Amino acid sequence: MEEIQGLVSVVIPTYNRAQLCKTAVESVLSQTYHDIEVIVVDDGSSDNTKEAVSSMDARVRYLCQTNSGVAAARNLGMQSARGEFLAFLDSDDTWLPWKLELQLNVLRLFPSAGMVWTDMIAVDEMGNELYPSYLTRMYAAYKHFDPAIHFPVSETLGEIWGQGPAAWASRKCYVGHIFTQMIFGNLVHTSTVLLRRSRQESVGYFDVDLLKSGEDYDFHLRTTRVGDVAYVDVSSIRYRIGAPDQLTSSDLGIWIARNDLRTIEKVVSSARDQIRLPDSAIRKRFAQSYSWMAREELFQDINSARRDFLKSLRLNPFQIGIAAYCLLSFLPVRLLRIMRNIKRRLPKLWML
């Protein structure tokens, strides 16, 4: 079998996570594939991140920027990268030792694939395993997506990666063009990604205008628009959940919803002819985005919530649950909060 080769540049954005970031870097340095460089991009930390990572290994580079957000940090890392391949790792996550070896074998076998991603293990703040397969739990778009159906090509890991664990030999890798399916929502977790540099050059960079969230979906949506991608049905990273400093924390829900709408508006405007869906499906997708945004707004800005519920219903009138939410938005906020508190105590008796 042809030997895999090529420098992999691993971009790790971080902010005030010195010890976690050091652990993340160690997981990259421990890879069974050794031709790597690690670019830690410090987004204006006030802790000892620089001291923690700068002297770890000659393959580690430390860059620092004024606090500008994760998208800007990843972009700086990509601009500084020298590798033929790019990978991303959030500073509170870690990789399993064979991640790059497996993914490089996939890209070697499938030269049309510009990106490959995987499933992930969810762990708590102490590192205890919570879910061995978390991708479909985290990303709701998998309700509309089945790799075995929507990818046209598949191969077993036994054929792709002969050195891999025997227990995984029958697990599948899927390859194909899934831009249309990605319209329904993100399917890709960034810390699991390996990307050809040539694909990144076609796609561009993360959108720094998508503040606090949503830059991942926008980037991966554009990546799938350009051409084939691959998904491997194994977990290759350990993903920390439940920490208050994470960008997926509940108080950021309104930002995630708003940026979802911005992303869909942008892609439909620029690439409607490439989306193989009828207009009715596009309207339902917009309705979904407006209703998501409205639910997040309900206890923060009831007038905006009411307006967005109505927009959702105009686009897709057949939403009984959203119609109920819309009616509730005409109640006083104080009463809504009382009802929400009751619902938390008696969840089976209320649909709010």
Mean pLDDT by 10 residues, the chain (352 residues): 83 96 98 97 95 94 96 98 98 97 96 98 94 96 95 95 88 97 97 98 96 92 98 97 61 88 96 97 97 90 93 96 90 75 58 48
Distance CA 218, CA 149 (A): 23
118 and 34 fall within a common domain: yes
> Which DSSP string do the residues of 249-318 spell out, in sequence order?
SGGGHHHHHHHHHHHHHHHHHHHGGG--S-HHHHHHHHHHHHHHHHHHHTTT-HHHHHHHHHHHHHH---
The confidence score (pLDDT) of residue 2 equals 62
- Domain at 28, CATH number: 3.90.550.10
Nearest-5° angle of CA 170, CA 176, CA 181? 110
Distances (CA, A) of 160 to 1, 4, 164, 272, 276: 10, 12, 9, 35, 30
Pairing of strands 115-123, 153-156: unpaired
140 and 285 fall within a common domain: no
The confidence score (pLDDT) of residue 344 equals 63
126 and 241 fall within a common domain: yes
Q: Please give the span between the terminal C-alpha atoms of the chain, in angstroms, as a whole number.
A: 57
> Is residue 48 in a domain?
yes
Distance CA 220, CA 222 (A): 5
Q: What residue type is assigned to position 181 of the chain?
A: Q
245 and 287 fall within a common domain: no
204 and 321 fall within a common domain: no
224 and 103 fall within a common domain: yes
The confidence score (pLDDT) of residue 245 equals 57
> Is residue 2 in a domain?
no
203 and 145 fall within a common domain: yes
The confidence score (pLDDT) of residue 244 equals 61
Distance CA 256, CA 254 (A): 5
228 and 120 fall within a common domain: yes
105 within 8 A of 161, measured Cβ to Cβ: yes
> Is residue 130 in a domain?
yes
243 and 341 fall within a common domain: no
Tokens of 195: 């990307």
> Is residue 240 in a domain?
yes
Length of the chain: 352
> Which DSSP string do the residues of 103-172 spell out, in sequence order?
HHHHHHH-TT--EEEEEEEEE-TT--EEES--HHHH-GGGGG--HHHH-SEEEEHHHH-TTS-GGGTT-E
73 and 204 fall within a common domain: yes
> Is residue 337 in a domain?
yes
Tokens of 28: 């990259």
The confidence score (pLDDT) of residue 343 equals 62
> Is residue 262 in a domain?
no
Count how many domains the chain has. 2
> Is residue 168 in a domain?
yes
The confidence score (pLDDT) of residue 334 equals 77
* Cβ-based neighbours of 220, under 8 Å, separated by 6 or more: 115, 182, 186, 187, 188, 190, 193
The CA-based diameter of the chain, rounded to the nearest angstrom, is 68
Range of the domain at 22: 8-250
199 and 64 fall within a common domain: yes
